[in-house]
Amino acid sequence: MKRNGFIAILEEDDLIRELLERWLAEAGYSVRARAGGSPRLVVVNLPSPRGAQARIEALRAVYAAPVLALSGRFRRGLARSAEAARLVGVKIVLPKPCTREELLSAVDEALEADE
């Protein structure tokens, strides 16, 4: 199933980025790494949630899409936490590492919330 639009992945780690791209492509999403244009969703790695607001604001200046934030610094209990997402300034937060199912569920939720 092809899904409309594309997802931009902003992940510095090549292996993680390739894995995210593969999982999303297998689920029918069009994916671009570090792409310009108008994505439906931006998936971004946040090395540290502290100071993340500046990076999120910079992304918002470039993209008019919701943001799903991944970070190894998010605790497992914060997955899908509305409060953590609000504090960082994104739609959804997802701790790394995550499973394929967790990623796809978070992507679907972020896209549904934006419709």
Residue given tokens 């999120």 in the structure block: 56
Q: 6-114 adopts what CATH topology?
A: Rossmann fold (3.40.50)
pLDDT score of 89? 77
Q: What are the structural domain ranges in the chain? A: 6-114
pLDDT score of 76? 57
Report d(CA 99, CA 81) in Å as an integer.
Answer: 17
Instruction: Tell me the DSSP string of 44-71.
Output: EE-S-STTHHHHHHHHHHH--S-EEEEE
pLDDT by position in tens, the chain (length 115): 446 779 999 998 899 999 999 999 999 999 987 667 789 999 998 887 677 788 888 888 888 888 898 887 666 555 556 666 777 777 788 888 889 999 999 899 888 866 5
Residue 107's CB: how many other CB atoms inside 10 A? 24
Task: Tell me the whole-structure pTM to 2 decimals.
Answer: 0.84
pLDDT score of 93? 83
